[in-house]
Amino acid sequence: MVGNTPLIKLSDEITGTPGITIYAKAEFANPLSSVKDRLALSIIETAEKEGKLKKGDTVIEATSGNTGIAVAMMCAQRGYKCVITMAEPFSVERRKLMRMLGAQVIVTPKAGKGKGMVDKAAELAEKHGWFLCHQFETDANWKIHEETTGPEIINDLAKINAKCDYWVTGYGTGGTFHGAGKYIKENSPTTKIVLSEPGAAALIDSGIQTKRNDDGSPAETHPAFAAHPIQGWTPDFIPLVLEKGLAMNGDNKLMDEYVSIPDGVAVETSMKLARTQGILTGISGGATVWAAIETAKNSAKKGDVIVCMLPDTGERYLSTPLFASIDADMNDAELKIARSTPSFILEPN
């Protein structure tokens, strides 16, 4: 069930770019509703093939949520124990989903940011002899996207005799960008790859590298990092998986264009996707679609095709700013409708 997610054609109503087609790759169609299902499958199966995991072992990973949910799913299916470390600011529904799948969730202090949860996972793995996924460093991360995500995009467009002029993505670990980007460049050399990140956390744009430990994990918080609302994107360090993708040059250069995401537009675009397209995606999905629309306005020409990623479902964000304006109780307009027929009875408080 992992992979083979659909491309959804967005209407001109949301894109505002007639003559330029934007497709969104709906990664929420994966079994646990995010692109990270691919990563978890690859890391666990690679570890099994290499003899690093056997039934009854404990798997541990640091995550903003989606990877943890996907790893918990794989562990539940294959008979492994699962421990997740997760920084305090990430949505509580993610913790509950992981615990529902049988994982134990260790919440790390907000002050430690993403590096804090990574360090805690490494400490626990060393202390107890658990298998650490190393999602930010392992080649198993990007290779699954080279094997699946990239080919799916190119093959699906080929079925309708379309080419991919631009491919737009953000980054969390950088696995999607690195792996799918590598395949797309090798099989569609004219495709331009657009990488996005929050304006408040412009790590790539800063040109400053992350200092690393011997295993490739971050040695310190990146100086360009600041808190931002796009959960799952841009931790407080540049992941090694992303850095390796960015380091490709010459004919293999992956990033052709860069888009900075201003405050507010990710949530606004996610809400617009829900209300004009019937697409329920998270804040990162809104950010990526906004970047795709900006690419259409500023770089693309009539007849071009743009593909962008929708990393997960909006249901992961019920306790976040994405749903802050959504009420549970009836508003005045809804009450007016309810009272428009005799059966309406208002129960006392």
Q: Are residues 41 and 179 in the same domain?
A: no
- Categorize the per-residue pLDDT at 265 as very low, low, confident or very high, splitting at 50, 70 and 90: very high
Residue 115 annotated among the catalytic residues of the structure: no
Q: Which of 25, 33, 36, 120 is catalytic?
A: 36
Q: Are residues 158 and 109 in the same domain?
A: no
Q: Are residues 310 and 240 in the same domain?
A: yes
Question: What tens digit of pLDDT does each residue of 209-234 get?
Answer: 999 999 999 999 999 999 999 988 99
Spell out a b/e string for 140-157, using b for 16 or more CB atoms within 10 Å of the CB, else e.
bbbbbbbbbbbbbbbebb
Query: Residue holding tokens 């894109």?
Result: 15
Mean pLDDT of 11-17: 90
Surface-to-core class of residue 113, CB atoms within 10 Å of its CB (0-12 exposed, 13-18 middle, 19+ buried): buried
Question: What tens digit of pLDDT does each residue of 236-245 get?
Answer: 999 999 999 9
Asked which of 77, 105, 132 is the last residue of a domain, the reply is 132
Alpha helices in 65-135 (DSSP H): 66-78, 92-100, 113-128
**In the 3-class helix/strand/coil scheme, how is 122-165 assigned residue by residue?**
HHHHHHHCCEECCCCCCHHHHHHHHHHHHHHHHHHHHHCCCCCC
Count of domains for the chain: 2
Domain range enclosing 75: 36-132
How many residues would you count in the chain?
A: 349
Residue 127, both tokens: 């202390």
Residue 42 annotated among the catalytic residues of the structure: no
Q: Are residues 16 and 156 in the same domain?
A: yes
Question: What tens digit of pLDDT does each residue of 154-187 get?
Answer: 999 999 999 999 999 999 999 999 999 999 999 9
Q: Residue type for 30, please? A: N
**Is residue 143 in a domain?**
no
Q: What is the CATH number of the domain that holds 202?
A: 3.40.50.1100
Q: Which of 34, 42, 64, 284 is catalytic?
A: 284
- Give the model's pLDDT for residue 19: 93
Question: What tens digit of pLDDT does each residue of 50-65 get?
Answer: 999 988 999 999 988 8
Reduce the DSSP state of residue 306 to 3 states and report it.
strand
- Categorize the per-residue pLDDT at 345 as very low, low, confident or very high, splitting at 50, 70 and 90: low
Statement: residue 122 has pLDDT above 70? yes
- Give the model's pLDDT for residue 179: 97
Mean pLDDT of 142-148: 98
Statement: residue 349 has pLDDT above 70? no
